[in-house]
Amino acid sequence: MVQTILSGLICGILLGFVLQRGRFCITGAFRDLYLTRENRMFVAFLLAISVQSVGIFLLSAAGVIQLTNVPFAWLGAIVGGFVFGVGMVCAGGCATGTWYRAGEGLIGSWVALFAYMASSAMMKHGSLQPLNQFFGQYKVEQGAIYETFGLSPWLLILLLAGVTGYLVWRHLKQPAVRIPSLPPRRKGLAHLLFEKRWHPFVTAVLVGLIATLAWPLSEATGRMFGLGITTPSANLLGYLVTGETKMLDWGVFLVLGILVGSFIAAKGSREFRWRVPSASTMVTSFIGGLLMGFGASIAGGCTIGNGLVNTALLAWQGWVAMPFMLAGSWVATYFLMVRPRQRSRQAAVEAVQGA
């Protein structure tokens, strides 16, 4: 139990610290593809997937970890992925983003986090479990893409790394945008950790390495998977309600560590402060959290479990769910951001014309 607590917390603290300092927002990465046609954060996300994919297949080849088959629950990946995409835009952050932004003091993220934990717990352990089982029955047992086509996984990893490397190279050769900043208050390592802006690609590599590290740490405690947010979040709430200690697995301490790591990073960089949003924003955040818990449960994972880990495993589950998460996020972005702006502009034009 001590090993479970320490290794899960340490991995979570590292991840939460890196996510907060690197402003690694997957919701923003998905949304910006549609809203501003900017893909740098999405390329960073692909880089994190590529690093982890290389890492875990090397560890598997060396016999350090055992990769498990991820059945392809196709209906859940489609429906759940889309619903989750809508929810993360409403909540203002994906599941992981909600955890680390709660560590920054955002009350809206705490509201979304509670709703996310509640709905995922109902889907996995409570009254909505039959609904989860309904979507789960539509599946294909052989879930690896390379097994479907009879290929070596390294061919697909090479393809993924090659495409990602090309996209990274294209971004790096562009002129750097200089962002004015205040004079540093610290020197050396403290300045690097808490003041200097982190490049998205550096952050992505660190996220990929931490995601790789999560596999042997998790498997050492009997949990045969890497990073995961939805089930641990549901288990945490389940433990708080029932007191069942069997729910306190490695993943629970991982998500608690994300909260702690983000808090440390936010305090060290002087970015922590309690921020209370408007009542309407809190309602939207709550609805978003509910949708995320529902969607991630039937999809078999969130933007971490599916978008980062199952994609790195070269599983159909991840690579099918992620496009539907993208689609859901774009639909929500249109109705929550684009359409209101269009109406505001139209109202302003009509007011000028009527003057």
Q: Indicate whether 182 pLDDT > 60.
A: no
* Digit-coded pLDDT (tens) for 31-81: 999 999 999 999 999 999 999 999 999 999 999 999 988 999 999 999 999
Looking at residue 74, its pLDDT comes to 97
Segment 83-92 mean pLDDT: 97
The Cα-based distances of 329 to 26, 61, 86, 88, 332 in angstroms read 11, 36, 5, 7, 5
Using the Cα atoms of residue 29, residue 30, residue 33 and residue 35 in order, give the sign of their dihedral: negative
* Cα torsion through 221, 225, 229, 230, rounded to 10: -110
**Predicted pLDDT of residue 345:** 84
* Phi and psi torsions of 199, nearest 5°: -70, 140
pLDDT for position 178: 65
Q: Which amino acid is at 279?
A: A
Amino acid residing at 14:
L
- pLDDT at res. 197: 87
Confidence class for position 354, pLDDT limits 50, 70, 90:
low
Is 137 domain-assigned?
Answer: yes
- Burial track 69-90 (b if 16+ CB lie within 10 A, e otherwise): ebbbbbebbbbbbbbbbbbbbb
Q: What is the structure's pLDDT at 195?
A: 86
299: DSSP letter: H
Q: Which residues pair with 72 in a beta bridge?
A: 140
Tell me how far apart the alpha carbons of residues 83 and 293 are, in angstroms, rounded to a whole number: 9
The verdict on residue 126 lying in a domain is yes
Please check whether residue 41 lies inside any domain of the structure: yes
Q: Which domain holds residue 10?
A: 2-174+187-354
Place of tokens 């934990």: 117
Give the mean model confidence (pLDDT) for residues 130-138: 95
Integer Cα distance of 41 and 330 in angstroms: 15
Would 115 be classed as within a structural domain? yes
Q: What is the pLDDT of residue 191?
A: 84
Q: Is residue 68 part of a domain?
A: yes
287 inside domain: yes
Rounded mean pLDDT, 7-24: 97
- What is the identity of the amino acid at 9? L
Q: Counting every residue, how long is the chain?
A: 355
Q: Is the pLDDT of residue 342 over 90?
A: no
* pLDDT, position 349: 72
Provide the CB-side half-sphere exposure for 38 (13 A, CA).
10
**DSSP codes of every residue in 235-281:** HHHHHHHH--GGG--HHHHHHHHHHHHHHHHHHHTT----B---HHH
pLDDT band per the 50, 70, 90 thresholds, residue 236: very high
Q: Is 222 helix (H, G, I), strand (E, B) or coil?
A: coil
Is 181 a domain residue?
A: no
| CA atoms of 336 and 278, how far apart (whole Å) | 15
Q: In the chain, at which residue ranges do the beta strands (DSSP E only) sit?
A: none
- Domain-located, residue 274: yes
pLDDT exceeds 70 at position 126: yes
Counting the structural domains of the chain, the total is 1
pLDDT tens per residue, range 272-305: 999 999 999 999 999 999 999 999 999 999 999 9
Q: Give me the pLDDT at residue 273, please.
A: 95
Inform me whether the pLDDT recorded for 336 exceeds 90: yes
Q: Which residues, in sequence order, are CB contacts of 159 under 8 Å at separation 6+?
A: none
Percent helix, strand and coil across the chain, each to the nearest 5:
75, 0, 25
